[in-house]
Structure 1
Amino acid sequence: MTIRPHPDPATPDATWRDVPVLGFTVAAGIAVLFCLVWLLRDGLTTDYTWGLLLSPVLMSVPGAAVMVLWERLLARVPRLAATLVAVAALLALGLVLAWWLVEVNAQTHLFTGSTFWLLAVAPVCAGLAWLAHRLLPAARRPVEEPPAALDDDAWARRLAGVLRLRKDLPDARVAEIVRDARARGAAAGRPLAEELGSPESYAVGFRKDRVAAPRRRAWAVTALVLLILATRLPGVVAGERLSAWDVAYLLVAVVVLVSEWCGYRAAVRRARR
């Protein structure tokens, strides 16, 4: 179950329908990983709480929702504004989940049983993803306005959305392209739609920024690693010993961090060729 590219360049690929479909699909994979991790950490038996059973879903579905929110905002507002709103939404969801895990879930103990019961979460999540895929209606395609029907402001907004969404260009570059397009229209004394055609066809002439996505991933992983270190630092300062599990996932996080930055550097080298 993947997100297919939308035929309209100005429309985001992801829809709200994709949140449960993609979220539960990812949750199924996370549930298998959880089982492996808990086998290493607790052995063949473990204590079950609602937090443990729901963790795969709580990690994936809100993340999918924020991803869809960010992409849909990107088509309408500058990248910085879309990113700030998405980060604020992610932090708000994180705070709510953290409160629930600490104040509510910590007081519950469902049962103690085989760690392999965690594997049962995977088919449940996969089934929910399949049901969402089958039952939720497909998103309606927006009614496309002909280029001539767009005034200059609407044309410029649509061009900016396409450049952010499909070309991955930063706000400064998008603003520069829009200013140049407006100047060409003003010099010709004609509406932008008549002078330059559709925003989508005009955007085809600009190259996609192949470095932006690897750079975002590298910084996102950096922030995640710093968050992990920040949560462990107070305990280390207080004299607590790190468990083998703590050391293991810190090492994994560092390996992923190095890999992402190497990928970013490789993208920079390819872009310079």
Structure 2
Amino acid sequence: MTEHMEATALALDAYVRHLFGDLANGHRTDHVEAEGLLHALVVDLINYGESNRLDMVDLLDALTQARIDRGGAITNLRYSFRLDAEVQFRDHGAEPHRGFITELKSAGPGQDPECVLRIPGIIDPQHTGTSALMPATRMVPLSTRTAGTVFSASAAEDTITDLLTRLPAGHRTSDTDGDPHVLADLAELSTALAAWSGTQPEHVLQHLRYRAGQIHRTGEDWSSTARRAATGFPNDIAAVLAGEQPTRTSSSSRPDPPRANRHPRQM
């Protein structure tokens, strides 16, 4: 039994003792009893979350979708990866990067769908086929000082962007100014997201700092999904950090055929 499984079993032991005392058989040996207890515990967890104003609908939807991604019992055989899915490359010889699907395109009947990935900390969007991908290992949940617990890589990306957007404009280009709790959260979140994506914390933070600057300048109320779908990153981070508008490199061509970039250009 893994460490997480044992921790779950101990939590269920405590739940049983608190509500029912000692049951006749015990969930560790009686599958029927275990199923009933798990059902009751999940219902109680949902009620607990809702009573604390947590969005349990989105949480349950995300958990179900993650289960589908991993080929669980409820898998639809016609299912393919969706937009914003957290993925990594199947090929162990490829760079150990993880990211999010930002575009999906059918390549024709019987052909592997094409997709574009956004990898936090890498400038260039990565082009590949879905057959080269697999569901990504989940990021370890991280408790923050200012934004609660972050449970996923996409949530970490959104939280970093939100924290940067909330900082005064004069503080977004410095790691020494601003609320120390916010800065500590930014440091820990960027480190965790970089460890997940296979890049560097400073590269992740620079990318998201630029995106936060765009949101602050436009004043738009972008949704989390819209922010995650953004794929444009600056080619001149030094200019961004100096408060200047980066020079964009125009490109209207797309790689043909799409393939994974095994040596992506990093910051």
The normalised TM-score by structure 2 is 0.27
Is the helix fraction higher in 1 or 2?
Answer: 1
* Larger RCO (CA under 8 A, 6+ residues apart): 1
Is the strand fraction higher in 1 or 2?
Answer: 2
Greater Cα radius of gyration, structure 1 or 2: 1
The normalised TM-score by structure 1 is 0.26
